[in-house]
Amino acid sequence: MEYTVQKLGQIAGVSPRTLRYYDQIGLLRPARITSSGYRIYGRAEVDLLQQILFFRALGFPLARIREIITAPDFDQVQALREHRDKLLEKRAQLDQLIANVEKSIASREGRVTMTDEEKFQGFMRQMVEENERKYGAEALQRYGREAVEKANQKVLSMTRAQYQEAANINSQLMETLKEAYKTGDAAGELAQKAADLHRQWLSYYWPQYDKEAHANLVQMYVDDERFTQYYDREQPGLAAFLRDAVHICTGRKGGQK
């Protein structure tokens, strides 16, 4: 069966404008275009659109989706299995959040007692989900599913006190880093203190600390503008300075790359 832009948009729940945009960026091409200029989509395009919408529902950016589905080794069946596993995981997360909200309501009404740790668990789950939405695709590609899941589990097992400790260390890191930046010496005492504070902060979120991973992470702070902006909003050049300090601290020669 074949579909026009209008008809495919209706059955898929997306606008014709979206389908035209997908065509423009090379994400979903029509099977053919009629002499009148109408885009026509066949079964293969319908299946591919389903994959695209699954990836979108999981928070993947369009550029990353295009890389995945145009790869020579892209396997639609395997991708569907991975979608299923990820959606089951998200359903379990939502079930936990719903249970947390319901218990919070019962606690407010005086029907049950809820510990501070239980109240906090819902916020930790939200933090993990937000991080997954923003950086999940990159994290999976860079570190692999097992490492990401272990890191998420460590965050979810945090107590209120541990979360506050991590937040305090991060605040201390930023203040120390800004003072160190004024010296211009990434190998200096203040800069190395900042590098160690960054290590301490990471240890709250990583299953285990690794020098090479630390060095690679701060390099990403410079390579990825999202992270650069986070640090450089405090002081332009701060992301690169932290990178240099950590590279010295971890023994990666040369600092700048």
Exposure string of 4-25, with b = 16+ CB inside 10 Å and e = fewer, is bbeebbeebebeeebbeebbee
How big is the chain, counted in residues? 257
Identical fold for domains 3-69 and 160-249, yes or no, is no
Class of domain 3-69: mainly alpha
Assign 255 a pLDDT band (cuts: 50, 70, 90): very low
Pick 160-249's CATH classification: 1.10.490.50, 3.40.630.10, 3.30.2350.10, 3.30.450.40.
Answer: 1.10.490.50
- Over residues 93-143, the pLDDT tens digits come to 677 667 777 777 887 777 877 665 665 666 666 667 666 666 666 666 666
The DSSP bridge partners found for residue 134 are none
Q: Virtual CA dihedral for 151, 225, 243, 144, nearest 10 degrees? A: 30
- Over residues 202-252, the pLDDT tens digits come to 998 888 898 998 999 999 899 888 889 888 987 899 999 999 999 999 998
Token pair of 252, please?
């990666």
Residue-range domain boundaries for the chain: 3-69, 76-156, 160-249
Name the pTM for this structure: 0.51
Q: What is the mean pLDDT of residues 3-17?
A: 93
Report the C-alpha gap between 101 and 114 in whole angstroms.
11
Token pair of 32, please?
């053919």
The letter for the amino acid at 86 is K
- Percent share of the chain, pLDDT over 70: 85
Report the C-alpha gap between 163 and 153 in whole angstroms.
14
Contacts of 45 (CB under 8 A, 6+ apart): 8, 28, 29, 30, 31
Q: Is the model's pLDDT at 49 over the cut of 80? A: yes
